[in-house]
A and B are shown apart, each in its own frame.
Chain A
Amino acid sequence: MSRTPELRELNRRVTAAIFRAEHLPPGLEAEFAFSDVSRIEEEIARLTAADSLEGSAARQGAITSALSAGDWLRALSLAEAYLAEPAPSVLAPDLVLLRDEASSELSKAEIPNVVQMPFELLVA
């Protein structure tokens, strides 16, 4: 397969980013690192077809990295977007599993208790 210089550079970047993220202890720093992986995977997914090995891996990677980053909402929205593509039948079951996992994690997440505060705008 011939790759554009852009795709080759993204492959280098995602390889380095995964290596970095997987070598960090669990915690906030690792979550940030996986967010970085997810963003690069999303860029790769934009440049590759869903029915190619590289394209399907990027789509799965964008979602799984978002899950590793604890970003359930991003994982869910990516899964739904990729399921809406004309994806090959072999990829769809994995995407459905990932979407369900993201959805389940999101439903368990604590919703911040937001209380509306009264306020008044004053002209200086």
Chain B
Amino acid sequence: MINLDELRALHPDLVEEQVGGYQMCAAIALERQRHAPGVGFAVSVNDELIAETLVWRKRAPHDATMVDMNRATEDGAECLALLVIGRHCSWRAVRRLHSRRREHADWIVEDQSGREIALEVSGTDAGPFGQRVRQKTAQAKAAALGGAAASCVVRFLEPKATLWSDDEPNPRTA
């Protein structure tokens, strides 16, 4: 089971404002697809399939009107991706990257040995999934400058996330 409220504990260097924003957007993106806490969450970590359950605090209906639809999808995907890498790979967020221009990754994260990894995150409500995974994987490789790279694509229609990394991240089920 993955609880959105775990985000803070899994990534202690995120600021409170960011954690709250990501959690709210993930909840809105899920509830917009008529999901309720306890919904199944199909996670794939380097082709290993893990059946998860997602839980969160239900949001007041007016919360959804406060957030732009695209923002909810993008930030909601960041939230779920960070939860997946924290729970299943024991990776920790080091820093966000400014991704509006040429950088092709969203985060630098590190594994338990301290190895840095360029992570690209992408979210979609109902769009094509496989093609996006391939595209984001290529982007992450380009951003890594020869180092380790990973990508995580999240879809909200039937909640699922695919994490790819260029080596084995020692996935562990929770």
Alpha-carbon gap, A97 to B142, bound state (A): 15
A interface residues, tally (CB under 8 Å): 34
Determine the main DSSP class of B at the interface with A: loop
Task: Decide if B101 touches A1 in the complex (CB within 8 Å).
Answer: no
Given A54-B116, A94-B102, A97-B102, A14:B95 Cβ within 8 A? yes
Cβ B100 vs Cβ A52 within 8 A: no
Q: Which of B95, B105, B147 contacts A15 (CB 8 A)?
A: B95
Q: Which of B71, B102, B105, B145 contacts A88 (CB 8 A)?
A: B145
A22 interfacial contact with B, CB 8 Å:
yes
Surface stretch bound by A, among B12-20, B28-36, B44-52, B157-165? B12-20
Q: Which of A1, A16, A22, A64 contacts B114 (CB 8 A)?
A: A1
A37: Cβ under 8 A from any B Cβ: yes
Chain A, 43-81, CB within 8 A of any chain B CB: 52-54, 56-57, 60-61, 64-65, 67-68
Count of chain B residues with Cβ under 8 Å from any Cβ of A? 29
Cβ contact within 8 Å between A61 and B97 = yes
Q: Which of chain B's residues have a CB closer than 8 A to the CB of A1?
A: 110, 114-116
Q: Would you call A106 an interface residue if the criterion is a C-beta within 8 Å of the partner chain's C-beta atoms?
A: no
Residues of B within 8 A of A97 (CB): 102
User: Which of A20, A57, A90 contacts B103 (CB under 8 A)?
Assistant: A57
Contact (Cβ within 8 A) A11 B94: yes
Contact yes or no, B94 A60, CB < 8 A: no
B112–chain A nearest beta-carbon distance, Å: 12
Task: Give chain A's interface secondary structure class.
Answer: helix
The CA of A32 and the CA of B42, in the complex, are separated in Å by 41
The docked-state distance in angstroms from the alpha carbon of A57 to that of B96 is 10
Does A83 have its Cβ within 8 Å of any Cβ on chain B?
Answer: no
B18 touches A68 (CB 8 A): no
Query: Looking across the interface, which residue of chain B has its beta carbon closest to that of A68?
Result: B100
Given known A11-B13, A54-B116, contact A19–B18 (CB-CB < 8 A): yes
Given A14-B96, A18-B97, A98-B102, the answer on whether A90 and B18 have CB atoms closer than 8 Å is no
**Looking at the complex, which one of A54, A64, A65 makes contact with B108 (CB distance below 8 Å)?**
A54
Given contacts A1-B114, A52-B116, A56-B145, contact A64 B95 (CB under 8 A): no
- Say whether B96 contacts A18, CB under 8 Å: yes
Which chain B residues numbered 70 to 113 have a C-beta less than 8 Å away from chain A? 71, 93-98, 100-103, 105, 108, 110
Interface residues of A (CB under 8 A from B): 1-2, 8, 11-12, 14-16, 18-23, 34, 37, 41, 52-54, 56-57, 60-61, 64-65, 67-68, 88, 90-91, 94, 97-98
